[in-house]
Amino acid sequence: MPNIIDAVVTKLLFKKPQEEVYSNLDRMFSKKKNSWNYSKSEYELRRHKKIIEFVKQIPHKTILEVGCAEGHLAKKLTEISAHVTAIDVSPIAVKRAQINAPKAKVKLAKLEDFKIPKEKFDVIVCADVLCYLKDKEAVVTRIEELGNYLVMSNGYVFPFLVEPYFFRFKLLKRSLVANLKEGRTKFASITAWKLS
């Protein structure tokens, strides 16, 4: 579905080519560990908790986490599923995720290149990743090819903006996680969808 507002915001914010965005992410990981403070931030912990809660309510025998960063959420996913695959574009993040989430199959891969499996994953978890991607239409198609359900979170300036791309799917659940305490105000919209 065309999403004019997101397309305009993406155009305004996304001045760099996609590959440069990816190499900047890797550079960010090289400079600092745990940049988003996933292990301590009250907001991030609540966001992860809500994501896990949503995943537990849908079939989740096999899970693909797209954009796993250093594996904090992937580790929590391995506590509810024995078959977690986690991918990221950053080689540095992937190495750390392999240590932080030892029970997950962590691979260096981009969502757009990740091989479509013979059998779809039960659930794709795509949390705070879409803001890095220019071509959202292609992303939606890819996610649909990969899984039966989607749990996503979108935060900062993108809480609801990207959701219209998914309106052709059935929205199962929505929740908002807000942070008003830790410095900058942050909101994340967490949603669960039945794909196709």
Ligand X SMILES: C[S@@+](CC[C@H](N)C(=O)[O-])C[C@H]1O[C@@H](n2cnc3c(N)ncnc32)[C@H](O)[C@@H]1O
Are 179 and 134 contacting, i.e. CB atoms less than 8 angstroms apart? no
64 binds ligand X (CB under 6 A): no
Segment near ligand X (CB under 6 A); pick from 3-11, 64-72, 116-124, 164-172: 64-72
Segment near ligand X (CB under 6 A); pick from 126-134, 143-151, 156-164, 175-183: 126-134
62 binds ligand X (CB under 6 A): no
Phi and psi for 24 in degrees, rounded to 5? -65, -35
121 binds ligand X (CB under 6 A): no
Q: Please identify which residue in 127, 146, 161, 177 interacts with ligand X, judged by CB under 6 A.
A: 127
Segment near ligand X (CB under 6 A); pick from 56-64, 108-116, 162-170, 171-179: 108-116
6 binds ligand X (CB under 6 A): no
Distance, in Å, from the CA atom of 132 to the CA atom of 67, rounded to the nearest integer, reads 10
Distance, in Å, from the CA atom of 75 to the CA atom of 119, rounded to the nearest integer, reads 23
Q: What is the smallest separation between the CB atom of 114 and ligand X, expressed in angstroms?
A: 8
Q: What is the smallest separation between the CB atom of 18 and ligand X, expressed in angstroms?
A: 8
CA-nearest of 31, 39, 100, 32 to 65 is 100
- Ordered DSSP codes for 175-195: EEEEESSSSS-EEEEEEEEE-
- Beta-carbon-side half-sphere exposure of residue 39 (alpha carbons within 13 Å): 8
73 binds ligand X (CB under 6 A): yes
CA-nearest of 69, 115, 61, 119 to 94 is 69
Site for ligand X in 134-193 (CB under 6 A): none
Binding site for ligand X (CB under 6 A): 25, 36, 38, 66-69, 72-73, 87-90, 93, 110-112, 127-129, 132-133
